[in-house]
Structure 1
Amino acid sequence: MRLNTMETKEVAGAEDIVIVGAGIAGLATALGLHKKGVRSLVLESSPELRASGFAFGTWKNAFRALDALGIGDRIRKEHMQAQARDLLLQALEEELPRGTIRYSSKIVSVAEEDGNVKALQLADGSILRAKLKVAQKEQKEKTHVQVLIGCDGINSVVAKWLGLAKPSYSGRSAARGFAHYPDGHGFGPNILQFNGHGFRSGMMPCNERDVYWFFTFSPSEKDNGVDESAARMKQFVVSNLRGLKVPSEVLAAVEKSQMSDVLLAPLRFRPPLSLVTASISRGCVCVAGDALHPMTPDLAQGGCAALEDGVILARCLGETTIINGGIESKRVEAGLREYARIRRWRSFDLIATAYVVGLVQQSDNAFVSFLRDRVLSGALARRLLRLADYDCGTL
């Protein structure tokens, strides 16, 4: 890839490790590296810390990762079963040294120059280069980017550069929303879930005043237009939930949601078989979080897996020695290969299981519904608990 250097400017600084994306995976990796005594620079496209999604289920594996990062007890004190992502990101950010995150820095392309030399082009025209000497006096000192970690989500630029398969549409979409109860909702710390008839829906409290709800379905021609406004989306969800005869408090939560708190999005995932031979890492470049394992939300494990990634990646990188102020590429490459080995089959397992669980739970096929309700429900629950019992280890 050729860069138009006439329209770009170099960025000053000196970082050995650059992390693209200040989401759960990016900040967890940065914090893990910080705990190991390794500096990193996190590039975030938005002008401030920004959460994606609505809620984060803190399963057992997530708390093990949070404990490894040193913030598990803080999260336990502040939250119930569902964790608002912005609060988790704030907790991770506050543990990082000031200046670790550079905002308004959106990566638009990764270039390869002279073999292993890489350059990151930002949306504002800036370029981060690797291992280049200053060629002209008027140029500022260039940033030395020796390790690149893509934590830039499902549409990851870094994953594309590595050649990972594009995320696929699952054939399902999800509406999500928040209901706010100023005087408290009175619900216990329980998750309500309703499956079948072509839908999958659930509701769970996030704290004493906020309730998160979701509704997944397979769009058809008769559903055209439901995404034109939040009001139509709410009406669509409520009418279908009434058909399922769900409890009135579930309907009330949807109806109570503000227009700005309702979101509809297609559910996408990376084909799990593509990860069997995929280049999760190449040289000193790798991916983590949704950039590695985008999955449907049916296990509520996306954020948990991102925390696992952060701890394991920080451990694998932290065990590579920084020599004379620089990073020895062969040791880094070996560390990233080890990270890829550990995360390949875990990612495959999570993505495949989430996809199958979603299809089975949402199915309106009479035979599948019979198996789900009479035979598979216990097996699916045990499978979920086994996946949530994963131990990513310590730093």
Structure 2
Amino acid sequence: MGVGDELRSQYLEVQGMVIKTENGRVLRSFTFKEEDQTQEVRVVERKALLETLAKQLPVDSISYSSKLSKIEKNENGETLLQLANGTQISSKVVIGCDGVRSSVAKWMGFSEPKYVGYCSFRGLANYPDGQPYESLVNYIYGRGIRAAYIPVSPTKVYWFVCFNSPVPGPKITDPFVLKKQTKELIKNWPLEFRNVIDATPEDTIIRTPVADRWSWPGLSPSASSGGVVLVGDAWHPMTPNIGQGGCCALEDVVVLVQKLAPALNAGPTFIEDALRSYRNERWTRVFSMTVRANVTCAVLHLENPVACAIRDHVLVPKLIRLGPMLEYTNFEFDPLLQISP
């Protein structure tokens, strides 16, 4: 069974979206097919996706909890990775996909992602006997705060709450405190959403300061150099306003494999050319996505009551149409199985 076949048994296809205000008034309600017949929206639990991908690798390919402590070039021109447990790995190609606070990106000269002015709570509600919600994206807009909840399986519902905050604040790991703070933020919101929070195991709730980093042409470091290349959030962390951060990372991987696989046995020059080609092909798309996500935030996190009124009475119900906005998510590629090793 391939990746696609296995994931088909685990994802849910979302039929539509309902957008409400924090007092429960419906601003818009529609199905995705009404907006654009060509578009589909599917959701899958991150854990299920990662486990499915991991199953495609040979046994013992992954070493978990292996924190990178040092990275340098050796005398052979290969990249030497030293892990916190003392293990050393020498490789002619290093793919840095180690997230927003990437050690590989830092080594390549990238700056730390910049805090964008709001934080998010996220969690996964659990319904052992079956979750009661329709397959819809449920959005709620407030003043300086927004939230959503969406079923991701027959028994689980993913949710988030994003709220404006001038500073990131202290790191909180106590699950009881995280759940209490989340409930305090939405204490006057629709009961249905509050019930989702109540159904969430405390140990699934996290609080994250939201950050991004724009890769400016000619100013930012290169995403590939000397056999080292960046993928996903390690290269282009973006705010979670258009739901494309993880999708962009998967696109990166597809393009990188298409470029890199034929070059691996051809020598260092061909590998560098392949990494450069990947970087050049992906840069325009990931830069535009990062900017789009950041700008979208400006509309979704309005605090001024007049601006919020315009958003809720004009922009959302009358002007903004999701079909044209979803076109940027389209990504087509040849099956990877066609690539010769």
User: Structure 1 length as normaliser, TM-score?
Assistant: 0.70
**Structure-2 residue corresponding to 1:157:** 103
**Is 2:333 the partner of 1:388?**
no
Please state whether the residue corresponding to 2:148 is helix, strand or coil: strand
Distance 2:192 2:218 in 1: 41
Q: Are the structure 2 counterparts of residues 353 and 115 from structure 1 closer, same or farther at C-alpha, using a change threshold of 3 Å?
A: farther
**Structure-1 residue corresponding to 2:283:** 344
Deviation at 1:182, TM superposition (A): 2.0
The match for 1:93 among 33, 39, 54 is 54
Q: Are the structure 2 counterparts of residues 364 and 260 from structure 1 closer, same or farther at C-alpha, using a change threshold of 3 Å?
A: same
Q: Are the structure 2 counterparts of residues 109 and 204 from structure 1 closer, same or farther at C-alpha, using a change threshold of 3 Å?
A: same
1:105-254 matches, within 5 Å, as: 105-114=66-75, 116-129=77-90, 145-219=91-165, 227=172, 229-243=174-188, 245-246=189-190, 248-254=191-197
Deviation at 1:128, TM superposition (A): 2.3
Q: Are the structure 2 counterparts of residues 160 and 227 from structure 1 closer, same or farther at C-alpha, using a change threshold of 3 Å?
A: closer
**Structure-2 residue corresponding to 1:320:** 263
Distance 2:335 2:220 in 1: 27
Contact 2:98 2:234 in 1 (8 A): yes
The match for 1:372 among 293, 307, 311 is 311
1:68-79 matches, within 5 Å, as: 70-79=2-11
**Structure-2 residue corresponding to 1:262:** 205
- RMSD across aligned C-alpha pairs, in angstroms? 2.7
**Structure-1 residue corresponding to 2:36:** none
**Structure-1 residue corresponding to 2:228:** 285
Mark the runs of 5 or more structure 2 residues left unpaired by the alignment. Answer: 13-41, 337-341
Contact 1:110 1:121 in 2 (8 A): yes
**Is 2:293 the partner of 1:354?**
yes
Worse overlay, 367-376 or 299-308: 367-376
Contact 1:107 1:121 in 2 (8 A): yes
Deviation at 1:197, TM superposition (A): 0.7
State the Cα deviation string for residues 318-337 of structure 1 (Å, max 9, x = none). Answer: 12151xxxx50000000000
Q: Are the structure 2 counterparts of residues 354 and 316 from structure 1 closer, same or farther at C-alpha, using a change threshold of 3 Å?
A: same
Please state whether the residue corresponding to 2:300 is helix, strand or coil: helix
Contact 1:168 1:271 in 2 (8 A): no
Contact 1:275 1:344 in 2 (8 A): no
Distance 2:183 2:112 in 1: 33
Please state whether the residue corresponding to 2:140 is helix, strand or coil: strand
Q: Are the structure 2 counterparts of residues 178 and 321 from structure 1 closer, same or farther at C-alpha, using a change threshold of 3 Å?
A: closer
Deviation at 1:392, TM superposition (A): 4.2
Larger RCO (alpha carbons 8 Å, 6+ apart): 1
Q: Are the structure 2 counterparts of residues 321 and 199 from structure 1 closer, same or farther at C-alpha, using a change threshold of 3 Å?
A: closer
**Structure-2 residue corresponding to 1:332:** 271
Mark the runs of 5 or more structure 1 residues left unpaired by the alignment. Answer: 1-68, 130-144
Q: Identity of aligned pairs, percent?
A: 31
Amino acid at match of 1:355: N
Distance 1:70 1:371 in 2: 48
State the Cα deviation string for residues 297-321 of structure 1 (Å, max 9, x = none). Answer: 1111111111111111011001215
Please state whether the residue corresponding to 1:98 is helix, strand or coil: coil
Distance 1:380 1:165 in 2: 36
Deviation at 1:275, TM superposition (A): 8.1
Please state whether the residue corresponding to 1:303 is helix, strand or coil: helix
Deviation at 1:375, TM superposition (A): 5.0
Please state whether the residue corresponding to 1:254 is helix, strand or coil: helix
Distance 1:228 1:333 in 2: 42
Distance 2:277 2:238 in 1: 23
